[in-house]
Structure 1
Amino acid sequence: MSSVTSLRSNRILRIVLIAAVAILLLVAPLVLPVFANQTLVRIGVYAVAVLGLNIVMGYTGQVNLGQIFFVGLGAYVTAYGVNHGWNIVVVFAAACVIAGIVGLLVALAAARLGGLAIAMVTIALPIVGVPLAKRLDEFTGGSQGISARFSDAPDWSRLYSDQWQFYIVLLVTAAAFLVARNLVRGKYGRAFGVVRENEAVAASMGVSPYRTKVLAFTVASIFGGASGFLYLAAVQYTSPETLSFGHSISLVAAMVIGGAGSIAGSLIGGAYYVLVPQLTNAIDPSFTTASQGAILLAVLFLLPEGLVSLPRVVRRLTRRRSTRPAPGNSPQTAPARSPVTEAAPEGLQKTERGKIGHEG
């Protein structure tokens, strides 16, 4: 009965907490300054990108070093659609679908590979994407990039543009995290986990490692396209620099630091991707790269499961310290017994005690 009551109270507490966070997020852009709103918007943008990367790397255990390519692709598709007068819902769907189709085509070829081979395939995506974006200037604007404005606040909303952008990013980010949560907690999530642990065992259980890896890579690409849509909503400009390989490595580092195989860790990773460079650039721009490497090494050594595991580690250490006996209060020990008495049978022990009493 107590366990049922505890579960019910935990569920109520979780619902109250989620409701409080939702209300806070809805009210935040109305009271925060412009800079804070823009920072939160960027966190949402990259949290979706890290979330997609987490599905293919954290949950399925496959290497993907080209997630930024799909972010840039989604941004370019969004800019093209907006500048050609497409409906904004159609633009969002096109950014996700086109990125997903390209990701599917890459996955169909790369999923049969493993280890270093699939890493090389995904590395090639941003390396090829940058010169390709420069050459296709009719669609991408070439080296100068392309801009598109579609996230300015409409007159009927009575909001500022930064507030309107915040709500657009909040809506898409919340939907992406809800979809990812349902995906990884269902049968596909279980298939991801089995493939990550052992592909031979997965095949023996009727789970196709090839189809599972293709699915994970395609889903990650769709999330990358959605992140590209949000990126253009926030920045309203994209260029070949968006596709650079350095950004892709930073996304991988953000996923590891936030927590691989964790939905909440993806949000922490997005916050890390945005906030740490801002802080280090404010101190010393030349310190940014070194600080990010130092943070990555520290997390890998101290928190291998990422920052999302910090509360669990703290609880474990606290519990271990509370169960440790206090100094000076050594546990009570039984009085020492004579080896003869300890080893002798019960009748002989009584005889020995009688003798000792008689002699006394």
Structure 2
Amino acid sequence: MATLLRTKWFRLGLGVVVAVLLLAAPLMLPLFANQTLVRIGVYAIAVLGLNLVMGYAGQVNLGQIFFVGLGAYVAAFGVTHDWNIVLVFVAACLLPGVVGLLVALAAARLGGLAIAMVTIALPIVGVPLAKRLSDLTGGSQGVSARFSGAPDWSGLYDDQWQYYVLLVITAVAFLLARNLVRGKFGRALKAVRRNEAVAASMGISPYRYKVLAFTVASVFGGASGFGYLVAVQYTSPETLSFGHSIALVAAMVVGGAGSIAGSLIGGAYYVFVPQLTNSIDPNLTAISQGVILLVVLFLLPGGLVSLPRVIRRLARRRSPQPASPWPEETERQAQA
């Protein structure tokens, strides 16, 4: 069975089955299910960007939600000013990327607590700034931008159209991230995370790759912000709040740091766990989420993505060891 799972044709067939299910899902699921899947895609992209910085590069980033909110605001501005939708998407990714580059150029030489403070400042400054720039952001009331309705030629409902838009963006983001971490860029990030001095001796610039990782993560945050506006069609200063940024970090850890698949699990965690804890007791939501995080960290330090590996390891430990066909030889080796 294990050999079958490793074969190229099995993986290709499994990929085709998953692709067909993803394409057919919105045509069979009810409205709320499609909206839930869209939100999972939105936050999975944000967690994916955060994973590139923290999981692969080992660099602290507690301000990823700032770039998500910035991307949402840029998208809202473009839509309200009748920009072409492709231009809106490019701008929603590009502007957060530029801001992320500027922040990274100043902060990448820092480490530990210093860079944590810099990234914490982003959402803390972003919320009052969004409220003050009311001409651009709508102030405390936020801004609405409806642009993701299904076109007439598609024959789809709005929720189905939004699902397909987010499916394309999410698929491209995950394929891009997969190619990055499996190539030279990913190997350099791992070297920097393990030991910067050793990486520098190998000709890898820790500063350069930290800046690149932070910039790419910011672009992913902007893409997530665009997706957020597609799904919600509204954004406000609350989108930038620091609490959401911490929730993204928790989602990354629970899903699995340094894992592409873990980012998708993290997106699902970000969406489902608050709903679950609210349904149990709205007054204990924060406590319940903290307990869940602690339980996962204690039982699965590698996140939920490591669960199949842990199960296989436990199964091997419990399976009986085959007896040696030459007990005398085994005893002689033990005595030697």
TM-score, normalized by length of structure 2? 0.95
Which one of the candidate residues 81, 84, 87 is aligned to 1:84? 81
1:105 aligns with 2:102: yes
CA contact (8 A) 2:4 2:10 kept: no
> Which residue, out of 176, 193, 213, partners 1:179?
176
Corresponding position: 1:307 with 2:317: no
Deviation at 1:324, TM superposition (A): 4.9
1:257 is aligned to 254
Please name the residue that 1:351 is paired with: none
Question: In the alignment, what sits opposite 2:70?
Answer: 73
Cα pair 2:68 2:225 within 8 Å, conserved: yes
Number of the residue aligned with 2:331: none
Alpha-carbon offset, residue 180 of structure 1 = 0.2
Distance apart, 1:8 and its partner CA: 9.9
Amino acid at match of 2:16: A
> What is the distance in 1 between the residues matched to 2:281 and 2:9?
46
1:155 aligns with 2:145: no
How many pairs were matched up?
328
1:10 equivalent among 4, 7, 18: 7
- Residue identity over aligned pairs, in percent, reads 77
1:239 and 1:261 map into 2 onto residues whose CA distance is 31
Kindly name which structure, 1 or 2, has the bigger radius of gyration based on alpha carbons.
1
Counterpart residue type for residue 37 of structure 2 = L
- Equivalent position of 1:142 in the other structure: 139
Counterpart of 2:289, as a letter, is Q
Q: Confirm whether residue 292 of structure 1 aligns to residue 292 of structure 2.
A: no
Matched, 1:221 2:218: yes
Please give the residue correspondences for 1:19-168 in structure 2 after superposition, counting only pairs within 5 Å. 19-168=16-165
> Structure 1: how far apart are the matches of 2:233 and 2:6?
45
The answer to whether the 8 A contact 2:56-2:193 is kept is yes
Counterpart contact for 2:60–2:115, Cα < 8 Å: yes
Q: CA deviation at 1:283?
A: 2.2
**What is the one-letter code of the residue matched to 2:187?**
R
Q: How far, CA to CA, are the matches of 1:143 and 1:188 in structure 2?
A: 40
- Report SS of the residue matched to 1:269: helix
Report the CA distance between 1:285 and its aligned residue.
1.2
Runs of 4+ in structure 1 over 3 Å off: 6-9, 331-334
Read off the aligned partner of 2:314 and give its amino acid letter.
Answer: L
Secondary structure of 1:305's counterpart equals coil
1:323, CA displacement in angstroms? 3.4
Q: CA deviation at 1:213?
A: 0.1
- Is it true that 1:194 corresponds to 2:207 in the alignment? no
Cα distance, 1:282 vs. partner?
Answer: 1.9
Amino acid at match of 1:295: I
Q: Secondary structure at the match of 1:24?
A: helix
Helix, strand or coil: the match of 1:151? coil
Q: Does structure 1 conserve the Cα–Cα contact (< 8 Å) formed by 2:5 and 2:11?
A: no
The aligned residue for residue 248 of structure 1 is 245
Q: Distance in 2 between matches of 1:178 and 1:23?
A: 17
Q: Matched residues in 2 for 1:16 and 1:288: separation?
A: 41
- Unpaired runs of 5+ residues, structure 1, are 335-341, 343-360
> Cα deviations across residues 159-185 of structure 1 (Å, max 9, x unaligned)?
100000000000000000000000000
- Structure 2, unmatched stretches of 5+, are 329-334
Q: 2:234 aligns with which of 232, 237, 245?
A: 237
Distance 1:140 1:100 in 2: 19
Residue 267 of structure 1 deviates from its aligned partner by: 0.1
2: CA distance between counterparts of 1:301 and 1:322?
25
Amino acid at match of 1:162: D
Shift of the 203–67 alpha-carbon distance from structure 1 to 2, 3 Å rule, reads same
Shift, 1:287, TM fit: 2.6
